[in-house]
Structure 1
């Protein structure tokens, strides 16, 4: 159980959910008006700690430099937004937080019970509202009579810029290669055919000649030019993940007491 003795130790400590997953780090503790009991932790979550969420810490346990709370990381992520410009939390905002986390505040105290899932939800919400109206006002962890310092820290702002990485061009040139093509060709040949004579014979015992003309095919090569393919360059954007590292500074605060010996500070 967390009480006022833990408040100073809770700032900047890690908040762990019921499954052991880190939720974020504590940036402010919210106390109950009148009793001063720690009620809620304002936790910075997200990749760069830019989101603020409220986590119930009444039933939390402090150990090993962190605080373990009986809620899940998903519940904290989906918690209602709370406006704290005047360092105050309204009853309506508290009621929304209790309802979101499934808790019933006891009347006139900031303590709460978990809502049994088998109970009637309407009755639980009604008890929640009654408890909030009976004086469960909230305020930030800074007391009216307390001194304060402002802590600053550096953040990494990561962006991108466009730089030229190189050029790609298409170059066309001519090459000569040998092609072998087989073409069928035809030629004529002569053969002697003998057969018995019929009818009248020619002039007997006189010299005579007869001839035929022979032909053949020869391969003829001609060249023609035709377009066979179009080649072009196109650009496309490809997104990849890059890790960016950088050193940042942050301020811490220590509490010193003048009424304690120097060796115990």
Structure 2
């Protein structure tokens, strides 16, 4: 789809998935904002945050539509850090300029500087409430899905047939929690080995030779021994002994590795949500009569 189609067919923008310049998913497009002077879609709000509870403003300048969604020429972190604005409110020129400054953009020239921007009717936050006072919007000027601007539309109420339920209905809205999960890095486990020294004691048998004197008397008539001369003499015997010898060798003893497993636990998530209540006033004779009532209804 061409760039002009992205700007003018704002009804097709809502619900698209927005991706940043690197192709990373940012969130879903919730609302389109039109310039009150030109009637052209200049901004959209995209749901961001861990549970999609925040709407961040994103400029449509440089954006393009493809089969995957809406491609935004800005980084996801830049979008998430955009200035916080009430996503249902009319934005004045100062707020609009603050957004342009955040994205490093220049506000288009040739404008009077007074209108600002308003959310387009027909987007999810305005569904069923165009021309009526909604939660937090104060009935300010809006643009229809074709890009035209104007004030509150009361023509339907003026031409609608009488139903016996009053001149027009009031729509009550309330917020609902949408809780999801997203995976993020929670830590790193490392497996390493180090060399430590310990003293090992073992027992090994060793032998050695000792000497002792053995005396044998010579029997009479033993002819194997001749006459021995008288005098000094000496002889020697070589003794042998074993010693313990230590050698070391490295041998594999076990294989060690890390593995992960997913553990599911139940976690309570709470957040404040808003809802509208309807109060009604009915005429009556006095507070004690049946005709006078006032109180909340929902």
Normalising to structure 2: TM-score of the pair? 0.41
Normalising to structure 1: TM-score of the pair? 0.45
